[in-house]
Structure 1
Amino acid sequence: MKKSKTIGIAVIVLALMNVILLAFLWFGQKHNKRLISGGGGLFVLTEKLGLSEDQKDQLAVLREEHFQRMEPLRRQSHESRDRLHSLWASGGTTEQIDSLSANIGHIQAQIEKNTFQHFSEIRAICNPEQKKIFDQIIKDVLRQGERREGPPQRGADQRPPPRRR
């Protein structure tokens, strides 16, 4: 009788621990998703720069304005790319391909210009010490972006491993 009572208590304790663990995982996952998708970069920027409340408010306004400017451009870019890719099936003319490619390039140039302007506006609300930190953050982000652009280049002395047959 004592043995079955001990086993019953152990089962209840283990079940409670599982519920608690699942709750931590569930709520922790929601929190992490919010940081990543809902402004994780904003959080990092705010923390690393040590922004004041006034600066945080200004940053929130700048961010909202930036997203409002960028959304139509992203939509246009996506639509133009879809039209360009649909030409594969329909066999588009050179003029159509050139026109859509030029349009995509123009939209991308606007996106780059707006992004540059946005970061310039953020930098403008920083004090001199924050500007140094901001510049380093941007430099690091750009360096990370360069690493993602494709496989590493191989020199003449670096050959791929031989294939097994």
Structure 2
Amino acid sequence: MRETFVRNKVLSVLVIILLLTNLLLLFFFVWNKPADPARTSNRSRGGEVMQLLEKEVGFSKQQLDQYKQLKEQHWERMKTSFGELRTARDNFYKLLNENSVADSVITAAADSIGSRQMEIDVQTFRHFREVRGLCTPEQLPHFDSVVQHVMKKMNNYRKSPPKEDSLKR
């Protein structure tokens, strides 16, 4: 066998190169997994707001530090609200397991979801009011424009078209 490799040096070198290339590809596919798109988009969205505040509104380093504090406080409050909203939705859809459910029970469960969502929207509104309070009078028009842009993006994200239903194929 060794004699065959010696006789066909070119072929031997090509086999070794192909083997190394395959190992390299295997390494990249197994150990170099792409980032989770959901996590990346969440991270970039938070970073995007900071970049907008810095570049579009003209926030100083001090204002950005104050914004970071407000943002952390806001998300601590929001964690509870999002958990309550998730629980309200879970309870609502658990009603599907019941054979018969009164319309009043369905309406009460839907109202519970609505009130939780309202709390989230009010907290978000108050958060942006606090951030707006960090602005100088010259920055206010820029901030108002940026907030409208961010809110439109958030609403478009929530209203993104549904993915294709696999059952309809």
TM, length-normalised to structure 2: 0.65
Query: Cα 1:4–1:31, aligned 2, differ >3 Å: closer, same or farther?
Result: same
Counterpart CA distance in 1 for 2:156 and 2:39 is 26
Residue pairs, 1:26-45, within 5 angstroms: 26=32, 29-30=34-35, 35-37=40-42, 39-45=43-49
Gaps of 5+ in 2: 1-7, 162-169
Match of 1:83 among 87, 91, 112: 91
Q: 1:53 to 1:107 in 2, by over 3 A?
A: same
* Preserved contact between residue 92 and residue 109 of structure 2 (Cα < 8 Å): yes
2:90 is matched by which residue type in structure 1?
D
Structure 2 CA distance, aligned partners of 1:88 and 1:16?
51
Aligned 1:1-165 pairs, distance under 5 A = 3-4=10-11, 6-7=13-14, 10-11=17-18, 14=21, 18=25, 22=28, 26=32, 29-30=34-35, 35-37=40-42, 39-50=43-54, 51-90=59-98, 91-144=100-153, 145=155, 149=159
Q: CA RMSD in A?
A: 3.4
Give 2:14's aligned amino acid: I
CA–CA separation in structure 1 for the residues paired with 2:96 and 2:45: 37
Cα distance change on mapping 1:13 and 1:126 into 2, 3 Å: farther
Q: Output one character per residue of 1:70-129: Cα deviation in whole Å (capped at 9) or x when no partner.
A: 122111112122222222221222332232222222211111100101111122223345
Identity value in percent = 25
Deviation at 1:141, TM superposition (A): 3.2
| CA deviation profile, 1:129-157 (whole Å, cap 9, x unmatched) | 54333322222233342586477xxxxxx
Contact 2:132/2:140 (<8 A) preserved: yes
Number of residues of Structure 1 aligned to a counterpart in Structure 2: 147
Q: State how far apart, in whole Å, the 1-side matches of 2:79 and 2:17 are.
A: 55
**Cα distance, 1:48 vs. partner?**
2.4
Gaps of 5+ in 1: 152-165
Say if 1:89 and 1:52 are closer, same or farther in 2 by CA, change over 3 A.
Answer: same
Checking the alignment, whether the CA contact within 8 Å between 2:49 and 2:150 is kept in structure 1 is no
Normalised by the size of structure 1, how large is the TM-score? 0.66
**Contact 1:35-1:43 within 8 A present in 2 as well:** no
Residue identity opposite 1:36 in structure 2: S
CA contact (8 A) 2:84 2:116 kept: yes
